[in-house]
A and B are shown apart, each in its own frame.
Chain A
Amino acid sequence: MPEVASLPGALGVSPSLSFGSRLRGYLRAIGAVVWKDLAAELRSRELLGGMLVFALLVILIFNFALELDVRTRQTVTSGVLWATFAFAGTLGLNRSMAIEKDRGCLDGLLLAPVDRSALYFGKMLGNLTFMLIVEAIVLPTYSVLYNTNLFNPGLVLVILLGSIGYVVVGTLLSAMAVQARTRDVLLPILLFPVILPVLIAAVKASNGYLQGLEVADILPWLNLLIVFDVIFTAAAFMVFEYVVEE
């Protein structure tokens, strides 16, 4: 068996390095986690497959359960969409963190010499990517099933802001819930009360765009989404290290 050779030079992110080097190391770690999540999912398709099937089933059930006229359908569209995204999102968040826990991989991540918030942002961006892929498939399917035009740039903006808020909180709470034996049940119980302002704002803003309201009427809800996204991103950045540590 050949011997392992030494590696010259300093490795990892050292505080003695310049700010630029540390930032590059930080971004590299975020990129590595996103790459790892996408590469693993591309191969297994467990997470996206589960989220998609669930989301499509939910809108199909709503389609048959709510036998409404065209006008009433438009008023329930945003509620049905966000209920679908929220339920499917929970599945994805649970699975994404369970993958880290199952083979002790979370410990592998935590052993890396990087600021632990980089791990959070990597996981968060991976989860956001999966959520946006599901939404990109659900929207046209919903349009066809409900005979409703959803191709509205304003709606796309709301979905993006709402999804960011959902995933920012969801990634943090899934990291907490994954430590528990009852993680599958625990995540929605923890997540939905916290995420309620995002869901309400997202439903109201989506409805506003679909009803053709003035931007001034929708703006307070958009502002609420932006503020929620910023506050919870900052909070997650600060507390993630303590959440994942024993």
Chain B
Amino acid sequence: MIEVHGLVKAFGLKPILRGVDLSVAEGEFVALVGPNGAGKTTLLRILASLSRPTAGEVKVGGHRLPARASEARMILGVVSHQPLLYGDLTAEENLRFYGRMYGIPGLDQRLAQVLKTVGLWPRRRDLVREFSRGMQQRLSIGRAILHDPQVMLFDEPHTGLDQEASAMLDELLRQVAARGRTVLMTSHDLSRASDLADRIDILSKGVIAGTYKRGELGPGELPEIYREVTHA
């Protein structure tokens, strides 16, 4: 579902990604971990067609980026650490706006469905700027799943959430994965990543420095490997 070969991204003369090779199969949940500045967000932004690669090949759902970005965006849902929501609109108005942008048929019904799913139906008429960080992130997930995308990209979705909100987010992530959606999530939290994902890829210094499937590693092994790989 996601194919990346030899991806290079540089801002000016500064290379961020130095030849990333990554493949995520349909229905797979991959967690991308790595230290700050490793290029996790840059990689996700390229996959989301928000940034152009400097070199290399990127395909999402078979659509080559950036040439077929519009088609790729139809099957993509993105949750970032920023909510991507308008504070002066209500929860329902925000989703209605995005629903119109995606041309979703039967929008009223879908809005109700999604708002109930993320537990914000009773607060649907409240302004988003009055929401807590956790509620905003739940609504952000609602925005991302509104058009029922096949591929979901999560960029450090747990940032700034308290324990309860994080647990709720984990539950939503599990639901998305259980429905056979392809998920790529960046995270700093190794234990959460290994708990949720089928596979963990370590991104370090602009390349994928290690790939580990769930069950391959013993308890407590991942942090040790992570330290070795990222400090090598």
Residues of A within 8 A of B (CB): 1-7, 9-15, 25, 28-29, 31-33, 35-36, 39-41, 43-44, 99, 103-105, 107-115, 245-246
- B55 at the binding interface (Cβ < 8 Å): no
Stretch among B28-36, B73-81, B197-205, B213-221 lining the A interface: B73-81
Choose, from B110-118, B156-164, B223-231, the stretch at the interface: B110-118
Structural contact, A1 and B80, CB atoms closer than 8 A: no
Residue numbers in A under 8 Å from B89 (CB-CB): 36, 39-40, 43
Contact partners of B84 in chain A: CB under 8 A: 103-105, 107-108, 111
Pair A114/B85 contact, Cβ less than 8 Å:
no
How far does the alpha carbon of A109 sit from the alpha carbon of B100 in the complex, in Å? 11
Are A4 and B103 within 8 A (Cβ)? no
Report how many residues on chain B are interfacial, defined by Cβ distance under 8 Å. 46
Contacts of A246 in B (CB 8 A): 45, 50-52
Q: What residues on B are CB-neighbors of A245 within 8 Å? A: 50-52
**In the complex the two chains form, is A12's CB within 8 Å of B83's CB?**
no
- Docked complex Cα distance between A107 and B85 (Å): 10
Shortest Cβ distance from B82 into A: residue: A104
Q: Indicate whether B57 reaches chain A with its CB closer than 8 angstroms.
A: no
Q: Given that A29-B101, A99-B86, A103-B82 are known contacts, is A2 also in contact with B73, CB under 8 Å in the complex?
A: no
In the assembled complex, the Cα of A39 lies from the Cα of B52 at a distance in Å of: 32
**Closest Cβ neighbor of A6 among chain B residues:** B148
**Contact status A9-B70, CB under 8 Å:** no
B190 to chain A, nearest CB (A): 26
Q: Is the CB of A28 within 8 A of B100?
A: yes
User: Assuming A4-B179, A107-B80, A113-B73, is B51 touching A40 (CB within 8 A)?
Assistant: no
Known contacts A32-B100, A43-B127, A7 near B82 by CB under 8 Å: no
B117 touches A9 (CB 8 A): no
Q: A39-B93, A43-B88, A245-B52 are in contact. Are A108 and B179 (CB under 8 A)?
A: no
B124 proximity list for chain A (CB < 8 A): none
Query: Is the contact region of chain A dominated by helix, strand, or loop, or is it mixed?
Result: loop
Known: A4-B114, A28-B103, A246-B45. A114 touches B51 (CB 8 A): no
> Please, which residues of chain B bring their CB within 8 A of the CB of A33?
101
The reply to whether the CB of B171 lies closer than 8 angstroms to some CB of chain A is yes
Contact in complex: A114, B52 (CB < 8 Å): no
* Whole-angstrom CA separation of A1 from B82 in the bound complex: 24
Q: Are the C-beta atoms of A105 and B86 separated by less than 8 Å?
A: yes
- The reply to whether the CB of B24 lies closer than 8 angstroms to some CB of chain A is no
Contact A110 B50 (CB under 8 A): yes
Instruction: Let me know if B104 and A111 touch, CB within 8 A.
Output: no
**B175: Cβ under 8 A from any A Cβ:** yes
Bound-complex Cα distance A40 to B85 (A): 11
B179 cross-chain contacts in A, Cβ below 8 A: 3-4, 6
A108 B103 Cβ-Cβ under 8 A: no
Specify the chain A residue showing the minimal Cβ separation from B104: A11
B117 touches A1 (CB 8 A): yes
| A36 to B, closest residue via Cβ | B97
B48 close to A (CB within 8 Å): yes
Distance (Å) between the CB of B35 and the closest chain A CB? 22
Q: Say yes or no: is B122 at the interface (Cβ < 8 Å to chain A).
A: no
For residue A110, which residues in chain B have a CB less than 8 angstroms away from its CB? 49-50
Q: Which residues of B contact A25 (CB under 8 A)?
A: 103
B119 within 8 A of A: yes
